[in-house]
Structure formats: C-alpha cells, structure tokens
Amino acid sequence: MATISTAFSIATGALDADQSALNIVANNTANANTPGYTREIPNWEQNDSVSLNGVSYGMGASVTRSESQRSLVLERAMQQQTQTESASSARLTALNQMQALFSGATSAGTDTSTASGIGSDLTNFFDSLSSLEGSPSDDAQREQVLSTAGTLASDFNSAASQLGSQQESLDEQSASLVGQANTLLTSIAQLNIEIESTSPTADAGTLEDQRQEDLTQLSQLIGINEITTENNGLSITTPGGALLVSGGQASPITTGLSGGVTHFYDAEGNDITGDLTAGGGELGGILTVRDQDIPQAESALDTLAYAVASTINTLNQGGTDLNGSPGSSIFGLPAGASAANPAGSASGITVLMTDPSEIAAAASGQGSSDNTNAVAMARAGQSAIVNGITPTAYFSDFVTTFGSLVSEVSGENTAQQAALTQLQNQIGSLSGVDLNEEAAQLETLEQSYQAASKLFTILDQVMVSALNLGVETSYT
Amino acid sequence: MRVNPQYMTNLVGSLDATSSTEQRLTEELASGSQVNALSDSPIAAGENVLLSAQIGSDDSFSQTASSTTSMLQVSDSTLGSVVSQLTTAISLATEANNGTLNSSDLQSISQQLAGIRDEVVSLANSTYLGNFVFSGSQGSTAPYSLDTSSSPAVATYNGDTDVDWLETPTGQKIQLNVPGSQVFSAAGTDVLGTLNALVADFSSGIAAPTAVTDTQALSSALNYVSQQRVVIDNSISRLTAAENYTQSEATQLTAVQTNLLQADAGQIATQLSTAETQQTALSQVIATLGRQSLFNDL
C-alpha cells in the first residue's frame, strides 16, 4: 500500500532534482562566455515504479546527470576549416607585407627611391642609353648611364635584402608557433589520460570541452588529423601521418636548421617540414610563403637582374670606349651566377664601372663620336632578353602574377572565413549558451521547485490530519 | 529551431568589415588612386609598369631629339654657308675664265679663291659641343688639314666614313651625320681638291688650261654638297616628326594611365556613404539587441 511517507519521499526527490537542474542552469549561465564551453542540459529520469498488490505507483523523478550538447562531427569539421583558414590568413598577411615592396608599380610617378621602383629604374637606365645615342661622347650623358645603373643595382639589392629579411622573420615565427603547438600537444595528452580514466564510455563534459578547445587552438597553429581511439582517447597525427599524440603520450615536434632555414622533425627524427607546409594552420601558411612565395619572387628578380646585367656587359665588352680601348663590364654579378642558375643576382648585382668614359658607346674600332654600340645597348631594353620578353615586360608580368597571387589568396581567405563562420554558427546553435533559454528554464524550474515545496506543505497537513484522526488542531 | 546565441560576435564581425571598407575607400579618396596595392588590380599594376616605361622613353626621346636637332641644325647651316661660299667661288672662277682680266686680277682672284678655300676648310672643321661634326666617328679629330707647301695645296681628310643613326622609340632610324669625306672630298665631286686646283690655276697670273674644267667640276661639286644638305634637312624634319609623334603618344598614354589608376571620386563618395549608412544601422542593431534579455524580466 502506498503511504504518505512515499509521497514525502517523492516530493523530497523532486526538490533534489530541481536543485540539481538549477545547478546546471546556473553553471550554463556562468559559463555563457567561456570559450569552448558546451551547454549542458539536465537528464531527467522517471524513477522506477513500485508495484504493490498489483497496483503500480510512480516514484517521482530525478536528475541523473548533466549532458553536454556537443557534435564531434561539427567540431572536427570546424577544426579542419580552422586549419585551412589560418593557413591562408597567415599567408595573406605575409604576402601583403611582400607586395608593399613593389607598390611603386601602382603609381604613375617614376619613384626610384625604393625597391618598389625597379620598373622605373629599368626604364631610366635604358632611356639614359638611348639619350647617349644623340651625343655619345658627352660626359654628362655617360655619367647619367652610370648613375641610373647604380640606382637599378641598389634597388635590386634592397628588394632582395628585404625579401630575405621577411623570410628570416617568418622563419623565427615558425619556430615560436611550434613551441606553442607542443604545449597544446602535452595538454591534450594529459586530458586524454584524465578522460580515459574518468569517462571511458560517455561524453566527458568539461574535460572534453577543454580537449576540444585545445584542438581548436592547435588547428589554428598547425594542420592535424584526429583519430578517436578506445576509451574516449584521441590520437593526433600530422596530415602526412607523423604521430604527435597517442593516448597519454605527446611526441613534440623538434626543430633544427637545414639549408639556412628551420626544419621540423617528428619524434622519430623524420623531416616533416613539407608535411606541415601542406598541412595548413598558421604554420602551413607561413612555411608556404617562406619556402615557396618568397623564393619565387627572388628567383624572378634574380632572372631579371642577371639578364639585364649580362646582356649589357656583353654588349659593352663588344664596343670601344671614349679612350679608344675595348669596353669592359658595367655590372658586377656574383661569381657562379649563370643564365641557367641566376640565384643571388638580385642581391649581388653591383656597378663595377666608375669612370663614365669606359662606357663603350662606339662599335669596335670606331671613334668617340660613333653611337652604334649605344644604339645596341638601348635596343636591348626593347629586346626579348629575359625569358623571351623585354625586361620591362618581364617586370610587368612579375607584378601582375604576384598581384594576382595576393588577390587570389585574399579571395580564398574570404571564402574560407565565410565557411568557418557558418560552421561556428552551426556549433553555436547546438552548443552555445542562450541566456534567454536559461532564463526560461530558470523560471520553469523555480515554479517546479515551488510546486514541490507546496506539495510538501500540503502533505505535512495531510499527515497532521492523519495523526490527529481528522481533528483540526491549531498547530503551527 | 535553435540559432547561434553568439550572434553578437557575427554582428561585430560585420561591423569590422564595413570599417575596413570605409578605410579602403578613404585611402582611395586621399591618394586619388584606385590601385594602392598590387592585389587591388594586378592587371592594372602590370599595365601601369608598361605604360610608365613607354611614357618614360617617349619623354626621354623628346629631350634627346631636341638636343640632336640642334646638332643637325649646326650641320645644316654649315653646309648652307659652304654652298654660298662655293657660289661665290664659281662666279669668281667664271669671271677669271672669260679671258678679259689681266695677270694681277687673276692673281687677286686666286687669292680670293684661297680665302674661300680656307673658309670652306674651317666650315668643314665645325664643331658642336666640342665635337667635330664632319669627321665620322672621330669626333675629337679635326676632319681636314691643309698643306699649302705644294701647289696645288693638298687637303687631307683625317676622319672616317662612319655614319651614325638615332633610333626612335618606334624603331625608326634617323641619320645623324654625313662624313666629311662624303661632302668635301668625295671622288668625282671633290670640293676642296677642286678649290685647290683653281687656286693653283690662277696663281701664276695666267689662267691654266685646266681652269675651265675645274670651274665646271666645282659646279657639280656644289650640286653634290646641296644634295648632302638635303640628307641633313630630311633628318631634321624626320626627327621633328618623330618628336611630335612621341610627345602626342606620351600625352595619350598619360591619359590612359590616368584612367587606369585614377579613383572615380563620385563613385567612391557614393560607396563611402553607403558603407557609413550600413555601419550606423549595424551599430544600432547591436545596441538594441544588447539590451534585450529575458533575465531583465524575471
């Protein structure tokens, strides 16, 4: 037979359950702005019923646990998208710095003061040679040729050295990023141990929140693959498969110098630089610029510098200078640079000639008024001497190609950000704490709590009535 | 359906985006250029490199052309003086050949002819900015030296036969000089040789038998000098035409470049105003939404 004490017990249970649910609401509200927090909802369960004399009586309800509202699929997708987006964002930042070097190409003026003026420098140099055609023995015109050659060479040097220093600063950045990534790997390994021991079968709640938050941060830094293992464990590898975390064991990435730049190695000592470059994350973006974009720009400048300097040198050597002597080299190029491998030409190009009278404006054997060789040198500016096109066209192509690259990466980044925002919205709509919802929940639980306590009061009166056999007494 | 409760972050993101648009537009207005980085318009940046180069070489050619024109004008006026000197010489020689003059008159004509010859030699040795214009490539060497110790006197050419050309930006070649050997001592039309012969013809006071043929030879030499002068005149007019062409090309290209790079102030102002409106609206939405919470009503 059901007793009044059973009803008391149900009311007490309801109060307990409500308190527990209120706790969860309070916790949600408190963590509304905590990064990585997933909202929790109380898991209400009907207590087992009791069957007495063939009649089944309900035994109330209780809150058995709180459940984190999480979708691992969405979070994994978001982490992957974060890796892609961070990579293009880091690459874009570095490329924007690089393109500032060539901003002179966007102005109508003839700015020759900085590296940005290589285009104008080329024009001025070849123009000074064509001016020399009109008065081949004029000292002022000859001086002008050497002076424009000097500006051209020094702007090549300055562009190459600024690209070099950007490369160095990216190199330093990459090493510091790996340091941060290693800290996160250790933290994830630690969380793996805790999760495996406390919650091997179900969602680990706040521990899982922390692990997911660490994974999101790690995804901003490097590209990773996640593999869920038994007992809620997690293994992390690079996209190429080098093991970074296995269960409770973190294998930090180590760094070492190779070929003048920082290279990265896994626990077994394999070089995973290429793997990390292609992988994504901020590190992937930075390494792409360091190992691919900057070397490409340098190589274009080297090719241009080598072609102009060697063509002009050859022509000048074929002529006769103002003193009647055979011409010499105007430009100096690094030893070992060749048309096939012009590496270092942009940083190493110099003007060897100091005496303007050594410019060989005249053809071989002709006198000081002959301009045949000056015509030939000026014509080199209009000739296909760099990879089948003129020097100016080559620089113009370089500017267009490079600008297109920056614009393309910028477009990619915008699209990736939009996709990332969408994923974040999806995750937010599932896991984010909505304060209105919590307020409503609070209101509901408050009423439910009040009802349960009212029930308690009434049961109390019923009990008193029962004890006094129906006689109302004035008891308080 | 549940929505992302953190929509405020997205709104602030949109606010950032409009701010960055405003910043870009303000920058374009301030610089007057719609291409401030290569990535703004890679094609325009590349095109601008080519246009600047073309405009630069056009401007530079204009300067070269005007200094070169001055040099050609020196050659031209020199040849003009040579022509008038030779005309005088021919009339003197013709007078001497008509058989009515006495011996002292002939000697005086011989002396006048010698004066003209000296004048022609000095004209042939004209310089422009310190360079001899008729000595081929040997600009520092006087083209003619005169040896009067023998009779007839001998004029020696010390230059060479080098002809220089100026190349215009369009690849046109314009002749810059005529070597002295081609003007003053060309075989068959040897101006100085004929003058020396005529001086010798009359120097003794009796007209030599060759005097008439020498006078005829001087006439044909005069015609030849005039022809050479036409070469120089042609160069001057071609150079002027090329200079005009490059100047008008530079003007056109500058207009193209301006179109390519210049920001359309009206358009940008409109875009800026739209961006501002959007930003104000977003700020108000954020401010309004921020005030709403069910907790306020509990």
DSSP conformation letters of A332-371:
E--TT--SS--TTHHHH-EE----GGGS--EETT--TT--
Closest CA to A363 of A352, A353, A355, A371: A371
Which B residues 152-181 touch A at CB under 8 Å? 159-160, 162, 164-167, 169, 171, 176-177
Indicate the pLDDT class of residue B1, thresholds 50, 70 and 90. confident
Residue A141 has a pLDDT of 92
DSSP state of A108: S
Residues 375-394 of A with CB under 8 A from B: 375, 378-379, 381-382, 392-393
Furthest CA-CA distance within chain A: 142
Residues A386 and A450 in one domain: no
A445 touches chain B (CB under 8 A): no
The C-alpha atoms of residue B298 and residue B295 are separated, in whole angstroms, by: 5
Same domain for A336 and A237, yes or no, is: yes
Return the structure tokens found at B292. Answer: 């709403």
Which pLDDT score is estimated for A116? Answer: 58
For chain A, the first-to-last Cα distance in angstroms comes to 29
CATH number of B49-255: 1.20.1330.10
Q: Which pLDDT tens digit goes with each residue over B136-145?
A: 999 889 999 9
Q: Average pLDDT by consecutive 10-residue portion of chain A (476 residues)?
A: 79 93 95 91 91 86 91 94 96 93 73 64 93 90 94 92 94 94 96 91 88 95 92 92 92 91 92 93 96 95 96 95 92 92 93 94 89 93 93 94 95 94 92 92 94 91 82 59
CA atoms within 13 A on the CB side of A181: 31
**A195 in contact with B at a CB cutoff of 8 Å?**
no
Is residue A103 in a domain? Answer: yes
**Taking CB atoms and an 8 Å cutoff, what residues of chain A touch B74?**
none
Does B139 contact chain A (CB < 8 Å)? yes
Of A349, A261, A281, which is closest to residue A312 (Cα–Cα)? A349
Q: Are A268 and A210 in contact (CB under 8 A)?
A: no
Q: What pTM was estimated for this model as a whole?
A: 0.87
- Is the residue at A426 inside a domain? no
Contact between chains at B49 and A392 (C-beta distance less than 8 A): yes
- Number of separate domains in chain A: 2
Interior CA angle at B161 toward B181 and A314, to 5°?
Answer: 165
Nearest-CA distance B192 → chain A (Å): 24
Domain-wise residue ranges, chain B: 49-255
Q: Which pLDDT score, from 0 to 100, does residue A475 have?
A: 54
Say whether both A332 and A291 belong to one domain: yes
Contact A126/B at CB under 8 A: yes
For B21-30, write each residue's pLDDT tens digit. 999 899 888 8
Question: Least CA distance to A417: which residue of chain B?
Answer: B13
Element housing A320 (H / E): strand A319-320
- The domain boundary residue, chosen from A421, A440, A459: A421
Same domain, A212 and A351: yes
Instruction: Say if residue A143 is in the same domain as residue A234.
Output: yes
Tell me which residue of A98, A310, A68, A319 sits closest to A206, measured CA to CA: A68
Burial of A54 (0-12, 13-18, 19+ CB in 10 A): exposed
Note whether A167 and A230 are same-domain residues.
yes
A463 interface with B at CB cutoff 8 Å:
no
Domain that holds residue A152: 77-421
Residue pLDDT, tens place only, B113-133: 999 999 999 999 999 988 999
For residue A425, the chain B residues in CB contact (below 8 A) are: 3-4, 10
Which chain B residue has its CA at the smallest distance from A431's CA? B4
One domain, residues A46 and A113: no
What are the chain B neighbours of A130 within 8 Å (beta carbons)?
A: 57, 60-61, 64, 167, 169
Whether residue A427 is contained in a domain is answered as: no
pLDDT in tens, B150-167: 888 999 999 999 999 999
Residue with tokens 């439910």: A448
CB contact under 8 A, A371 and B164: yes
Residues of B in Cβ contact (< 8 Å) with A410? 39
Taking CB atoms and an 8 Å limit, are A426 and B4 in contact across chains?
yes
Asked if A441 is an interface residue toward chain B (Cβ–Cβ < 8 A), one would say: no
Which of B291, B115, B134 shows the shortest CA–CA distance to B203?
B115
The pLDDT of residue A58 is 87
Instruction: Examine the domain organization and report whether A263 and A398 are in the same domain.
Output: yes
B197-238 tens-digit pLDDT = 999 999 888 888 899 999 999 999 999 999 999 999 999 999
Burial level of B23, CB count in 10 A (0-12/13-18/19+)?
exposed
Q: Are A389 and A397 in contact (CB under 8 A)?
A: yes
Residue B224 to residue B219: CA distance in whole angstroms: 9
User: Which residue of chain B is at minimal alpha-carbon distance from A324?
Assistant: B138
Please indicate whether residue A4 or residue B239 has the higher confidence score (pLDDT).
B239
Q: Which of A128, A399, A437 sits opposite B46 (nearest CB)?
A: A399
Mean pLDDT over B234-244 rounds to 94
A21 within domain boundaries = yes
Show residues of chain A in contact with B164, CB under 8 Å: 133, 136, 369-372
Q: Is B276 on the interface with A (CB under 8 A)?
A: no
Residue A11 included in any domain:
yes
Instruction: Give the pLDDT confidence score for residue A110 in this predicted structure.
Output: 53
What is the chain A residue with the closest CA to B52? A108
pLDDT of the residue at A260: 86
Residues A240 and A337 in one domain: yes
Report yes or no: A97 at the B interface, CB cutoff 8 Å.
no
- Any long-range contacts for A288-295 (C-beta under 8 Å, 24+ apart)? A288/A87, A288/A91, A289/A90, A289/A91, A289/A94, A289/A95, A289/A98, A289/A170, A290/A167, A290/A170, A290/A171, A290/A174, A290/A261, A291/A261, A293/A91, A293/A94, A293/A95, A293/A98, A293/A405, A294/A98, A294/A163, A294/A166, A294/A167, A294/A170
d(CA A239, CA A284): 11
pLDDT tens, position by position, B80-117: 999 999 999 999 999 999 888 888 999 999 999 999 99
Helices (H), B98-150: 103-124
Q: Do A436 and A414 reside in the same domain of the chain?
A: no
For residue B22, the model assigns a pLDDT of 94
A278 and A332 fall within a common domain: yes
Instruction: Tell me the HSE value of B61 on the side-chain side, using a 13 A CA sphere.
Output: 30
Indicate if A207 and A269 belong to the same structural domain: yes
A124 occurs within a structural domain: yes
A 414-433 residues inside an 8 A Cβ radius of B = 421, 424-430, 432-433
